Structure 1
Amino acid sequence: MSFKSIIRDLKDMKNGFGSMSRREFDGMHWRSRTKTFIAPDVAPSEPIEQGQWANLPPELLLDIIRRVEDSEAAWPARKAVIFCASVCKSWRTIAKEIVKTPEECGRLTFPISLKQPGPRDAPIQCFIKRDRTNSTYHLYFGLIPSEDENDKLLLAAKKIRRTTSKDFVISLVANDFSRSSNTYVGKLRSNLLGTKFTICDSQPPNAAAVQHANKHSRRFSAKQISPKIPACNYNVATISYELVLRTRGPRRMHCVMQSIPVSAIQEGGTAPTPTEFPQHLDKKSSSSKGKDPIISFSSPNLSAEPTPGAHDALFLKNKAPRWHEQLQCWCLNFKGRVTVASVKNFQLVADVDPSVDLPAEEKDKVILQFGKIGKDIFTMDYRYPLSAFQAFAICLSSFDTKPVCE
C-alpha cells in the first residue's frame, strides 16, 4: 500500500480514530466545511482513546509522516499533513516535530504558522477578498482566486463600528468573530479619524512579556485573570498615517513593530516565533463585561510620531512612489502582482537609523506589499520578519477611509 493510499484511508476509516464520536472529531482539528484548519497544537479538552494507528512502530511512523510532509508542498494537497496530525496524540507529536516554521521551509501548515515570521528569501503570496455587504475581509493563500472556489482560507476579519473607533476582529474562521472563541487571534483598532491603528494579539510575543505585563500592569486585578491565560489583548504594533491637508498625494504610513526587535533584520538576528496557541480561556474567571484590557510592552513615547533609533523596535515605512509623466500618476514596481491603480496600494520597507549596520539590499527589501487586482480583490505578499497575522492587520488599516490623509 502506498503512503498516499494510507492518508486517503485515514479520512474514512472509522477504526483509525479509535472510538471517537462524530462530535469529538468535529471539535478536533479540521473543519473541511469552512475550508479552514483549527489548531492541532491545542490538545482536546477530553482525552482521546488511542486507536490501532497509534501502535505503529515509531521508526515507521516517523518515515510515513516525513514522506507525506516532503511530498505535499502546497494547498490543498498539504491538508494530508493535517490529517496525519489529527489521527492521535503520537501522530500529532511527531508531525509537529517534523513540520518546520515558514521561515525555514516557506510553507503554511498548522494555524500557528500564521503567527510565525515568513521566509527570508521569497515572500509568501496571498490575496484578500472584501465583502462590502457584511464588512468582512478574507485572507486566502495563493496567487489569485481560483475558479473552483477551493481557495485556502487563512484568516478572516470583520469591521465593527464603535462610537469613537473601529475594530477589525480577526479570526481563524469566517463565521465566528467572538473574542471568547478559541478561533480569535487578534484585532486591529483605529481612532476616530482612521489615522492611528493598534494591532492587538490574543497571545503575548514571548513568555518574558507575560511576566513584565503581570508585574507592571494596574488595569485589572489578579482575580480577573484566568490561571491559563490573561483575558486581554497584547499591543504588538502601531500604525500611523501622516495628515495631508493642503497637498494631495499618496498616503504616507509608518509602522512600529513593538514585538519585533530591529536586530531581527540584521545578520544573525531572530524574530519572536511562537510554537503553539495558548490554552482556552477559563469561562468562570474571564471577564465578559466592557472592553478587553490592552497590555502594551512599549515605551510611553510610542503614541507620538515614530522616530527611528528611539528604541530597539523595528520601524517600517511605505516606499515612496515615483511620478510617471506619461501616465500622470504615482507608480511603484509591484513586479506584476498589482494591476489596478489605487490609493490603498503600498510597499513597506525597513526604516532604520543610518548608524545601524545593515546591508543596502536589506534596507531596500520589500517586507510587505499590498495592492488591488480587481473589484474587491487585493494581493498581499509578506516575508520575514512579519507574520501572516501582522501583515493582514497592516493591510486592513489601508481599507479604512482616511479623508485627511489623501
Structure 2
Amino acid sequence: GLSGSMNYDEASEEDDDEAEERSRSLSPNTESTRPASASSTKSTTECLPLGSPSAEGSSVEVDNLEEFVLRPAPRGVTVKCRISRDKKGMDRGLYPTYYMHLEREDGKKVFLLAGRKRKKSKTSNYLISVDATDLSREAESFIGKLRSNLMGTKFTVYDNGTNPSKTPGALLEETNTRQELAAVCYETNVLGFKGPRKMTVIIPGMNMNFERVPVRPACEQESLLSKWQNHSLENLIELHNKAPVWNDDTQSYVLNFHGRVTQASVKNFQIVHDNDPDYIVMQFGRVAEDIFTLDFNYPMCALQAFAIGLSSFDSKLACE
C-alpha cells in the first residue's frame, strides 16, 4: 500500500484548494506499531500507559452517543473518523456545518457529532451537537462548544455545563459547572514566515482508573489556558503538533500519515507528547476538498478531537 507523506501547502487559505491539488507526495508504508507511553513528568497523578496504537477502530462500539463522545478512546485502539464539511445553504458558505462520523471496519459510518460556527458572536464560537439536524444552544443534543480569543489564536473546548460567570453569586452544584476539555494555542507567524503551523494542545490529565480529571474553572485564573501560561501543569497533559521534516525532493514539509491523508494542506497535523513523539494521540488531514480524516487515541475523546479539528478550520490570519 501507499501512504501519504504529506506536503504542507504554503499558500494562503484562499489558494488552499488549487495548491493542494498540485503538491502531493506518496511514500511506501513504513508504519510502526511499537508500544508507547506518553505520561507527563510534570504531574504526580497522571497515569498514561498508552499502549500500542496499532489496533483498528473495529472494536469501538457506540452504545450511548452522549457517553461515547466524552469517553476517552480505549487504550490500544485507534478510533478512525471522517469529517465532512457542508458549505451549502445560507451565507455563501461562511457558516458551513461539519459532521464527524466513526469509520467502521465493515465500511459503514456511524454519526458522532455535528458542529457549526455561531453567527453574531464577537469571537469564533462553534456549537457542537450529537444531533445532525439540531444545532441550537437550547437543544438537549447540545454537547459542547469551542470558543476562540479575539485574535483567533487560542481556543477553549467546553462541555455543555453551566458557565459560572453567567450565574454570579449562585451556588451551583459542582456537577453542573461546565468542564474545560481542551485548549488549543496556535503560535503566531507575525513575520510572515510561510511554514507549517505550530500548535500546543492542553488536555486534562487522567487518574489511576484511566478517567479524565475534571477541570471546572470558577474563574479565568483556573482555566486551562491560564494554567498553561503560568506553567502550572499539575494534572494536565501538554501536547504539540509533530514537527514535519523538510523534503528536498519535493521542496516542502512532509509528515507520514500512513495512507490516511491524500492531499496537502496547511491544516494537516499530528498531535504527540514530547516524551514519545512516535505515539500519535491525534492526526487530522485532508482527503478531498471537503472531506478530512481524524484519528485519535487514548487519552483523547471524540469531542476533544472534533473540537481541535474545528479550530484548524477557523481562519487565523496571524498564523498563516
Which amino acid in the other structure matches residue 96 of structure 2? Answer: S
1:109 aligns with 2:54: no
Give the whole-Å Cα distance in 2 for the aligned partners of 1:294 and 1:219.
Answer: 14
- Bigger CA radius of gyration: 1
Choose from 220, 234, 240 the match for 2:168: 220
Per-residue deviation at 1:272?
2.2
Maintained 8 Å contact 1:186/1:233: no
Aligned in 2, Cα 1:141/1:132: closer, same or farther, shift over 3 Å?
same
Per-residue deviation at 1:218?
9.1
Give the whole-Å Cα distance in 1 for the aligned partners of 2:174 and 2:222.
Answer: 27
Which amino acid in the other structure matches residue 125 of structure 1? Answer: K
Per-residue deviation at 1:313?
0.5
Maintained 8 Å contact 1:170/1:177: yes
Choose from 238, 244, 259 the match for 2:189: 244
Per-residue deviation at 1:118?
0.4
Which amino acid in the other structure matches residue 116 of structure 1? Answer: R
- Runs of at least 5 residues in structure 2 that lack an aligned partner in the other structure: 1-55, 89-94
Alignment of 1:264-303 (within 5 A): 270-272=210-212, 295=218, 299=222, 302-303=225-226
Match of 2:285 in 1: 371
Which amino acid in the other structure matches residue 160 of structure 1? Answer: R
Alignment of 1:186-335 (within 5 A): 186-203=144-161, 219-222=167-170, 230=176, 233-246=178-191, 247-257=193-203, 259-261=204-206, 270-272=210-212, 295=218, 299=222, 302-303=225-226, 306=229, 310-335=233-258
Choose from 111, 119, 123 the match for 1:153: 111
Give the whole-Å Cα distance in 2 for the aligned partners of 1:397 and 1:387.
Answer: 16
Per-residue deviation at 1:178?
2.0
Which amino acid in the other structure matches residue 178 of structure 1? Answer: S
Per-residue deviation at 1:368?
0.3
Match of 1:123 in 2: 78
Aligned in 2, Cα 1:163/1:117: closer, same or farther, shift over 3 Å?
closer
Higher strand share: 2
- Higher relative contact order, chain-length normalized (CA < 8 Å, sep 6+): 2
Deviations 1:261-316 (A, max 9, x none): 4xx6xxx6623299xxxxxxxxxxxxxxxxxx975697468337647674331111
TM-score (structure 1 length as normaliser): 0.56
Give the whole-Å Cα distance in 1 for the aligned partners of 2:293 and 2:126.
Answer: 19
Maintained 8 Å contact 1:127/1:143: no
- Runs of at least 5 residues in structure 1 that lack an aligned partner in the other structure: 1-101, 205-212, 275-292, 353-361
Maintained 8 Å contact 1:123/1:381: yes
Give the whole-Å Cα distance in 2 for the aligned partners of 1:383 and 1:219.
Answer: 36
Alignment of 1:50-199 (within 5 A): 106-111=60-65, 112-133=67-88, 134-142=95-103, 151-199=109-157
In structure 2, the residue corresponding to 1:154 is in which secondary structure? strand
In structure 2, the residue corresponding to 1:157 is in which secondary structure? strand
Per-residue deviation at 1:402?
1.1
Percent identity at matched positions?
A: 36
Higher helix share: 1
Aligned in 2, Cα 1:143/1:130: closer, same or farther, shift over 3 Å?
farther
Match of 2:22 in 1: none
